[in-house]
Amino acid sequence: MTPRLMRLVMMVVCVLMLASAVFPISAQNDGQLCVETFEDRNGNGAQDGGEPLLTRGVSANLLDVTGVIIESQLLDSSPRAGVGLICFSALTAGQYSLEISSADYQATIPGGLTVEIISGQPPQVLTFGGRRIESETGSLIDEITGRYEEDALVERALVAAAGSAVAMLLTAFIGFIIYALTLRGRYRRVPPPPPADDYYRKRTTTGSMRAVRPSDTGEYPRNRP
């Protein structure tokens, strides 16, 4: 083999070695890891019907195999928050862990979230279920709101009852006026029957003649001195 041919072979070998060293590294930076968050209302660790996706209030830290945080994201500012996703992209192959925290929701899925990223594989999606944390302030506000609504219902019931009573009294008064003006003639008072005949028995009189006294006839003269 001539020296010129040997140099050509060595150049080809060097190019192949460089290509094998560069291209795998580039291919390893295509890993992606996502976390899907939802509100686990019944706390069973699975997304059931009627349990919505979360769009805020969750943060995620991405840790490498040594436990060092290499990236952090908030769901509030995630480009895919509308579908409840936090995604980490451009990851090299290897093992990663996720730390998910929230001040409003308590995790319902036990254990840590650890995943192995393999170059060229589809993005892996982990699931985070959170149950809403009821604060004392929130409970107090709910209690006050409930009492206020209950008082409002009682007040409306009392007002309705008072209105009904006033309407009934007004209707009765109008009915009495109508009765007094139009119907009283139908119920006139019947005069009492006349007394017995003995009450009307006439006294015996002399009619139009003057009463005659015995002294006027002369039959019984007066005793004169």
Q: Which pLDDT does position 213 carry in this prediction? A: 62
Q: Which pLDDT does position 94 carry in this prediction? A: 92
Domain 26-132: CATH architecture, name and number where available: Sandwich (2.60)
Contacts of 104-110 with CB under 8 Å at 24 or more apart are 104/57, 104/130, 104/132, 104/133, 105/39, 105/54, 105/57, 105/58, 105/130, 105/131, 105/132, 105/133, 106/130, 106/131, 106/133, 108/40, 108/43, 108/44, 108/45, 109/45, 110/45
**Where do the DSSP E strands lie in 56-143?**
59-63, 69-74, 85-91, 94-101, 105-107, 113-117, 124-132
The pTM of this model reads: 0.49
Q: What is the mean pLDDT of residues 87-113?
A: 88
What is the tens place of the pLDDT at every residue in 18-69? 555 544 444 456 789 999 999 999 999 899 999 999 999 999 999 999 999 9
**CA 179 – CA 183 distance, rounded (Å):** 5
Q: Which pLDDT does position 54 carry in this prediction? A: 96
Q: Which pLDDT does position 106 carry in this prediction? A: 92
Q: Kindly report which listed range (67-71, 79-83, 136-140) carries the lowest average pLDDT score.
A: 136-140
User: For a pLDDT cut of 90, what percent of the chain falls above it?
Assistant: 36
Q: Cβ neighbours of residue 32 under 8 Å, at least 6 residues apart?
A: 87, 88, 89, 90, 91, 123, 124
